[in-house]
Amino acid sequence: MQKFLLFFCILVLHIYKNCCILTLVETRQDMKIQHFIKSAYESLPFIISNIHVSAKCRALNFQEEYIMKEKVVLAYSGGLDTTALIPWLKETFDYDVVCCCVNCGQGNELDGLDERAKLSGASKLYIEDIVDDFSDNYIMPCVQAGAVYEHKYLLGTSMARPAIAKKLVEIARKENAVAICHGATGKGNDQIRFELGIKALAPDIKIIAPWRMTDVWTMQSRDDELAFCQAHGINLPFDASHSYSRDRNLWHISHEGLELEDPSQAPNYDDMLVLSVTPEKAPDKETEVTMTFEEGVPKTLNGKAMKVSEIITELNRLGGENGIGIVDIVENRVVGMKSRGVYETPGGTILMAAHEQLEELILDRDTMEAKKKIGSQFAQVVYEGKWFTPLREALQAFVESTQKYVTGEVKFKLYKGNIIKAGTTSPYSLYNESLASFTTGDMYDHHDADGFITLFGLPLKVRAMKLLEVEKNKNNK
């Protein structure tokens, strides 16, 4: 009899769960069935109370299993911040935590993530590979725009965040999650980038930002997070006193914290660098590189056809070996404060330089000038997290229109942190040797410069004449 009652409990729980999901209310008969199942479900406590204790426990466990918890998708990196968030979300909100790690080219940082996430209490971990999408649809628009923030920062983190936000929304929809959680701090730019992306793509999904929820998020340092994880049986290979805060993807790796928080201190490059060596430690010989582009997109590297992601990977190796692309920056964050970081962008620095080397041969003066302004604005838009906006789309449309003839070959040498040009060719080159040569040619008549200078300098001459007239009138009084 008790076995029958236990089976009945399990059956009711299973049917009730599926009825809730399917919402069978299309016909009067369906409503009667659902009413019966609901009544049976509400009677379960009475039925369970009459079952033997061991069977009762089993029934209660089944009941707990089949009552669906709300889900949250956690942007998971496997680092200290996001690992601590898993047990915290479960304890604070009673959420079913689904982790999503978006692979933008982090390399071996993805090793062991599944085990770590499950050990920390996550019900599921997605590892979504978007390396090619990131390369083609986020990196290349920035390269083609020449987008550099405050003259130095090549937007490695900035351009990755909207790509990650888009994937988080996709997983949230797939899992029917009610919320997305990120581990960005309340002082940084990433909170803005993640949340603007999520709001633009899924305005109905709740966003949880623990570092701004100081009433329930009591951890204020990496030491606090380590202690919290250890208290929950999660032992992590991190040491708060000897660990930079890093962000890595295919394009770059950033370093913040420790001695970098004091602008008067030099970076400890020996302890810091991951992708590169310093120029002083680079080889005492040049590395020759040849690249080809078609309509602004890199196609071959040293004679070998490759995808964009593969070209960047190889350029990272070559650039890292030669000390290319290490920058120490104090930048102005969107939230109003200055921050200091060291960025390693070996492949990105080379790719940007190679693309610019080709463009200067092809684009006319007015287009170059306009594109320079657009590139600066594009960098600002991306840095501020406004990727999914009409403005970014409009700016990118202009940039794409300038790339139609950016086709050709560039050669350069890498040597101790330097990129040295070694020749550029293009079928669309606007460089004309007959015009540019110091030797007089048929296409250029020096006498034409007389009229041009007269007209070009006319505003200056008129102003100067007026000032002389005013001064003369003063002296005659």
Catalytic residue numbers, as ranges:
81, 161, 190, 245
CA distances in angstroms from 424 to 242, 313, 417, listed in the order given: 45, 23, 21
> Which pairs count as long-range contacts for 428-434, CB under 8 Å and 24+ apart, including other chains?
428/362, 429/361, 429/362, 430/361, 430/362, 430/363, 430/364, 431/361
**Strands, E assignment, 316-429:** 326-332, 338-344, 408-415, 418-425
Amino acid present at 343: Y
Residues 302 and 289: their CA atoms lie apart, in Å, by 6
Residues 453 and 72: their CA atoms lie apart, in Å, by 68
Q: Which two tokens stand for residue 16?
A: 């009730």
351 within 8 A of 358, measured Cβ to Cβ: no
Amino acid present at 358: L
Provide the CA 78 distance to its chain's centre, in angstroms: 16
DSSP string spanning 298-320? EEEETTEE--HHHHHHHHHHHHH
Q: Which of 253, 440, 430 is nearest to 359 (CA)?
A: 430
Amino acid present at 365: R
